[in-house]
Structure 1
């Protein structure tokens, strides 16, 4: 998910707490924990500062997003709160653990995926059933916020109810996504799923040999072919990999790629992020 959504998740966690008997410093401690733990796995963005071999694609959402590292992050926040406020409460640890777990798990559901089981499994796990920016989450949390402003005493109830609705949203999206995925999947093709910004709408990317088709589909409509692409599967990519290490990383990271080899350029891109004639993830070199 994007940074704003993770921040909103942290705010919703904090809002779910019954803080009626909390002191000012306790409220600060729990607020810092809820927001910070909901963001901490994305600390891996700093790896761009020393990435000289094009490995950032693998590092981002890699080991820092592992569910096995969640207790470490929770302990870190427990120690930070003790250092800042001299306040010890095991609830801080559990709140941080839940915040990190929500971050890591929610990232599984969009097309980018995570190294959820690293270091034991290096495969990037992705379901593609939730858009990386999901306005349904924003709307649900926003309703809980305004309802709680109107009646502060019901804030924990409102935010807990918001979590129920968000879980229902993820469940419905994932059931529909799985159903569509199974419709397209055969023994002879590769399929990837990418959720649209519009709820219950998906892009299904189908690759058979050198042909890639991108469909817009949902369970209530007939599929619409949006793009038909050709991948130059016979192209020699060694020069590309030598000059653009990021390309080799993208090749290994993506479920599958489209190869571009024409008079002007040699490159690869991830078709899951293909919009308006180009992909967000495209690595290439120009030909002389």
Structure 2
């Protein structure tokens, strides 16, 4: 998810806590905890660790720092930082940090970019693709809750945010159910498939690879694009020169569910068909072979 959404997750989980019996310093500690937990996994972008000597954000970002095995370590680190600053030992601090880290990595796994959810045990990228990277429905739920909180002063604030979170889980559950049904249908027809969620709830883009072709079409439970877009993939190309000259290409193949292999316009390369920017592939690794 985007940084704004992760921040909203932190603020609203903090808001969902009944803090009536908490002192001012504890409230500050809890707010810091919620925000730190909601952002901590993305600290990998600061580290800028490299793949084969070159920065490869797709494999590093959302990698080890987004693992479920690292989540309790994040929570413990945040707990220690809070203790050093506020001298608080409230167990709620650890639990709030842990929950926010899990929400962060879980929501990231649900969109098309995926995460290294089980690193270092497995390098597999968990890419479910049932919610968009920016989910305006989630934003809308939180905005509505904020307005209600301001207008209905008699309703406890924590109750407003708890109801908002229930609605968020219902929305995510509905998206996941629809997406998985659509994905299972595609898997029964094609060799390789993956899914990306549209900004419009209940609508998805299905990408399938069959032989030397990648097919792309939009689908919901009640409608399906008649004719898919077809992209040829030159699967018989020898990619050894590409891997030798551009190690990022091999990393991209490892990271992506599948790629399109192309040899045209003097370029031998691979790209992930899920992502486009300005009409061209966003993740495209190639070498110039025009000479």
Q: TM-score, normalised by structure 1?
A: 0.95
What's the counterpart of residue 227 of structure 1? Answer: 229
For residues 198 and 236 of structure 1, what CA distance do their matches in structure 2 show? Answer: 40
What's the counterpart of residue 208 of structure 2? Answer: 206
Cα deviation, residue 264, structure 1: 2.3
What's the counterpart of residue 2 of structure 1? Answer: 2
For residues 203 and 16 of structure 2, what CA distance do their matches in structure 1 show? Answer: 30
Cα deviation, residue 277, structure 1: 3.4
The superposition leaves residues 73-121 of structure 1 with CA deviations (integer Å, 9 ceiling, x where unpaired) of 1111111111111111111000001010111111111011111111212
Please state whether the residue corresponding to 1:67 is helix, strand or coil.
coil
What's the counterpart of residue 282 of structure 1? Answer: 284
Please state whether the residue corresponding to 2:274 is helix, strand or coil.
helix
Alignment of 1:1-288 (within 5 A): 1-48=1-48, 52-152=53-153, 153-186=155-188, 189-225=191-227, 227-274=229-276, 277-288=279-290
Tell whether the 8 Å contact from 2:50 to 2:56 is kept in structure 1 after alignment. Answer: no
Cα deviation, residue 150, structure 1: 2.4
Deviates more, 1:260-269 or 1:249-258: 260-269
Please state whether the residue corresponding to 2:48 is helix, strand or coil.
helix
For residues 278 and 226 of structure 2, what CA distance do their matches in structure 1 show? Answer: 15
Tell whether the 8 Å contact from 2:40 to 2:74 is kept in structure 1 after alignment. Answer: yes
Deviates more, 1:112-121 or 1:94-103: 112-121
Tell whether the 8 Å contact from 1:148 to 1:158 is kept in structure 2 after alignment. Answer: yes
Aligned residues, how many?
Answer: 288
For residues 183 and 49 of structure 1, what CA distance do their matches in structure 2 show? Answer: 38
Tell whether the 8 Å contact from 1:42 to 1:64 is kept in structure 2 after alignment. Answer: yes
Cα deviation, residue 257, structure 1: 0.2
The superposition leaves residues 247-280 of structure 1 with CA deviations (integer Å, 9 ceiling, x where unpaired) of 1100111110001101321111111214663222
Please report the RMSD computed on the Cα atoms of aligned residues, expressed in angstroms: 1.7
Q: TM-score, normalised by structure 2?
A: 0.94
Which 5+ residue runs of structure 1 have no aligned equivalent? none
Please state whether the residue corresponding to 2:244 is helix, strand or coil.
helix
Please state whether the residue corresponding to 1:235 is helix, strand or coil.
coil
For residues 249 and 54 of structure 1, what CA distance do their matches in structure 2 show? Answer: 11
Please state whether the residue corresponding to 2:209 is helix, strand or coil.
strand
Please state whether the residue corresponding to 1:158 is helix, strand or coil.
helix
Please state whether the residue corresponding to 1:167 is helix, strand or coil.
helix
Tell whether the 8 Å contact from 2:44 to 2:60 is kept in structure 1 after alignment. Answer: yes
Q: 1:207 to 1:276 in 2, by over 3 A?
A: farther
